Chain A
Amino acid sequence: MTSLILRTMVRLLLPLLLMFSVFLLLRGHNEPGGGFVGGLMAATGFALVSIAFGSTTARQVLRIDPLFLIGVGLLLALSSGLVTLWLNQPFLTGIWYKLSLGTFGKLELGTPLLFDIGVYLTVWGVTLTIIFALEEVG
């Protein structure tokens, strides 16, 4: 598509969408959001690029093969379960690590976050694989 408006706006929207997707991902543990919708949001950004500039450009902007994103995502999600096996807990038990940040309060990091990041990357990769494939066949 050669719409000047779309092309201009996509340049602005892509970073915004990516940032918002990370926000959704991190918000997801206790509030609406999470890895799945975050991944969709991130994919939307590149879907827009692909509509405005074509899938070749979108692939160049993404730099990574979407299939690689799927692989890494699944690996992260899987490793969040494997950590628990290592610690002699049933598979996928949530394990938390409290990090003190002084005046900023404390940060709780846990395997569910790792799992969510895995979901985020997988959904991102799957959606883009589908979108790019449709674009390149048609």
Chain B
Amino acid sequence: MTTATISLRKIDECRWEIPTDYDPGMRVPGLIFADEKLLPKIRDDQSLKQVANVAHLPGIVRYSLAMPDIHWGYGFPIGGVAATDPDEGGVISPGGVGYDINCGVRLVRTSLRESDVKPRLRDLVQQLFNHIPCGVGQSGAIRVGCEEERKLLVQGARWSVNRGYGVPDDLEHTEAKGCLEGADPDVVSNRAYERGRDQLGTLGSGNHFSEVQVVDQIFDEEAARVLGLEKDQITIMIHSGSRGFGYQICDDFLEVTRRALQKYNITVPDIQLACTPVNSPEGQRYLGAMRAAANYAWNNRQCLMYLVREVFERFFGRSWQDLGMDLIYDVCHNIAKFERYKINGKEKMLCVHRKGATRAFPPGHPELPKNYQSIGQPVIIPGDMGRNSYVLVGTGKAMEETFGTSCHGAGRAMSRGAAVRDARGRSIERELEEKGIIVIGRGRKGVAEEQPSAYKDVNEVVDVVHRAGIAKRVARMRPIGVIKG
């Protein structure tokens, strides 16, 4: 099924509107950031219809937004952004955050050059693969009892740092300092606790990965200098989320909100958009649980980074501090947060849903670490395992237009089935190795499903974001070593 029938109004080269007269239930228009090159692919699935569906949500403000990496999700498209006003009956929707609550990426710099790594690259990637639990049924090295699990849900990544899995500077360079206030361990189901217990410090599978990269292009010298990035430098990227703990919370609360629709007299065009007023007991319970999952995810990425630092320490026989392995930044891309924006001249506290979208705050924003005040928040964009990833910085324009939000990745262009069929008779690992990229995956079809051509070209996605001005390019990396679940 396609959405070719949705007629878009072109605003400029990078902006397209779905007018409210497309569907009488739309409370606000849809606004899609894309160019002529990306649009045909976006029209291939039902994501534009999903942008229009999101515009039905009670209390939605200004626009139902879509980033250029938009693709078909559940209820919300991946790459969808929506802000609701709790004072105007605004809702919170678990589907607007997704199953993998606080799925996100972190980028670690090193003082190593490509030439330091290249001769023993396969060995290094193998050691990362051996040391970092990934794929189906793998337990984490860091197991926690119920009491500890409750603590980490409230404390966020500080819990890991207090146990020696990092340093306070890591927290300074994590979105929200690695902790959302208001997490409520009492509203978390036993099933979520059970699923979370042995998964701390595990990568997972699907699109999650850990990657060794080389900085291959600098676009903004000054911002790159502040971030400690130079051409030919080795960086490490980690992409994972809240694991079974978060999936279970989403599952639990999709059920709660589905059943509460009638109680609050809300109708939604798709049951996966089930939602409840922010200011309702169900809404508050979901927020308490979602924040707990967000805090779980930050602990998970913190523990994963600890494992990466351990591998590098052993491999190079030097401490991670000596190897310059500082955290550049950690961003989440599946979350709902309360943030202040001016709406019709009046400052409002809005509930901003980012489903496959990254916060992109401008220079001078009080939530940024001191050393990034002059450049804006780093926006970390993973691409696919064969092409590139990016670091951008947030802008004032994003604050005006997109509730301080930018894209989150390349976005899928091919279904998993199509990618496996496309890879039949080929070895994706060998093809990538010929390009100088070592990939080790655990699942039998994981690498085929995640092959580069299954994704849109991240360069095109980032180009739109940059041209639209909702984030600014700083540096581009290319992968040389990838581990997948």
Chain A complexes with chain B:
no
Chain B residues packing against A (C-beta within 8 Å): none
